[in-house]
Structure 1
């Protein structure tokens, strides 16, 4: 009864600010979990939890040496985390910055967006049939100016013919990545950072690793066409999915790009529904 009375008093004393505080902290922990999921940091978190669990146990059992080692491990571990997981920390801060200060894509209307995606899809389909390797990066909220500076600036309209021509074998720009911003091909022949993820299929070549690398450090959508098999792949948020058809690729591009384009025109309730669909689709 005393315990029940304690909980009832506690509940009665909860204010709106307490609820807000709990909600904010819960959201922060959820975002940290999402960012760490299926990365090296996830395994690190499990190790930290195990150490924190063992410290009081070793103290209770008077295991002095073990307790001393575990405490020192936690102390030194904080600095080690910053050094070892610098890429993950950087990606988390960039993700936070994108969420807080994101700018909208500059597109005049939905018809323009439809035409843009159609031109990209037609080029990708033709390149796939000819088994011509391609790497197309569609910029989203994260700016890719540092990547663009490594290639040849074009500032040309996105057309099927131009995209196909860029990736013709033995031409100066075919080996690098082509960057699309809004409705323009801003640069071609760009160099992308390679992914350091050791779980990537060993059969995948440099083009796929580069696609994963840029998707890990930004929110860009990266389309890859294999020059060996013509298989179409897509890299988003550090994850690679393969064997896309034109229809399947069209569906996911519209889901992501169109959602962001229309986001400012929707009511709050409509935004919540659309983002729920997107999250479920990613899972």
Structure 2
């Protein structure tokens, strides 16, 4: 016990401020990584990997040579498999890290313009829901979705509820696909979105809903879906689909999400600017 106490005391004495900083940084990275995969298929796969890692030393201690051999080989091959399987989550994380603070400020909107944009979208969605006209509308946020634009037709027109409704009229050239809202304008229509590969998704959901979830898994876009069968309005954000929105509820949640994201962008940019100013003063 005395030796353990002495060892612990010496360890504490040898801890420097850099060691503490190192631990905090690593903890923060693990925490952010967990939030990124929380409640996704990646979380279930991670649990399986942790189980394999725990079984390897146990099988070695119990002299289960065959099991130990299989687990080691599985873990070796699994590294490449994890990169392939976690591709959407890894891509989302790298896009988040690569997005600069000044670009985020540029993408931010003032309250009046944001409210006007949401009003036009909600009015169109409400009318489409009443007439049970199927629709798929993606609102670009901080992450660019240029690869989606290439699959459709560029319109780059002023956003209006009438034009948005007209695009989704059945049997018109651009109704069967997603319409993209970019910087308060109807930028493209008839776009093809990536379908989700999440096996946990409700099997009763149609192609529009699966496409909405798929894009939300790969970007921070807000995707609105109107069911042509029931007229139910749904919203996909960060890989999650919530349903049964009415006009006021949809407007409230869209404004809240956009406001929160703009606030985070400005806050992040402000913190970076302060850091740069401090560095300049030191120089």
The TM-score with structure 1 as length reference comes to 0.86
Tell me if 1:123 matches 2:119: no
Partner of 1:272: none
Show CA shifts across 1:156-175 (max 9, x none).
11111111111111111111
**2:179 touches 2:189 (CA, 8 Å); kept in 1?**
yes
3-state SS of the aligned residue for 1:111? Answer: helix
Partner of 1:276: none
Alignment of 1:158-197 (within 5 A): 158-197=159-198
Partner of 1:54: 55
Partner of 2:278: none
Gaps in structure 1 of 5+ consecutive residues? 270-283
Alignment of 1:14-33 (within 5 A): 14-33=15-34
Partner of 1:227: 228
**Higher relative contact order structure (alpha carbons within 8 Å, sequence separation ≥ 6):** 2
Which stretch shows the higher mean deviation, 86-95 or 153-162?
A: 86-95
**2:107 touches 2:142 (CA, 8 Å); kept in 1?**
no
Which stretch shows the higher mean deviation, 202-211 or 50-59?
A: 50-59
Show CA shifts across 1:43-64 (max 9, x none).
2222222222122222222222
What's the offset of the Cα at 1:6? Answer: 3.2
3-state SS of the aligned residue for 2:104? Answer: coil
**2:234 touches 2:244 (CA, 8 Å); kept in 1?**
yes
**1:105 touches 1:261 (CA, 8 Å); kept in 2?**
no
Which stretch shows the higher mean deviation, 164-173 or 101-110?
A: 101-110
Task: Return closer, same or farther for 1:99/1:26 CA change in 2, 3 Å cut-off.
Answer: farther
What's the offset of the Cα at 1:221? Answer: 0.4
Tell me if 1:202 matches 2:203: yes
Aligned residues: 270
Distance 1:77 1:107 in 2: 40
Task: Return closer, same or farther for 1:52/1:100 CA change in 2, 3 Å cut-off.
Answer: farther
Alignment of 1:146-165 (within 5 A): 146-165=147-166
**1:147 touches 1:191 (CA, 8 Å); kept in 2?**
yes
Distance 2:266 2:55 in 1: 52
**2:104 touches 2:266 (CA, 8 Å); kept in 1?**
no
What's the offset of the Cα at 1:101? Answer: 7.8
3-state SS of the aligned residue for 2:127? Answer: helix
Task: Return closer, same or farther for 1:18/1:107 CA change in 2, 3 Å cut-off.
Answer: closer
Partner of 1:74: 75
Q: Provide the aligned C-alpha RMSD in A.
A: 2.5
Distance 1:176 1:161 in 2: 18
**1:107 touches 1:183 (CA, 8 Å); kept in 2?**
no
What's the offset of the Cα at 1:267? Answer: 9.3
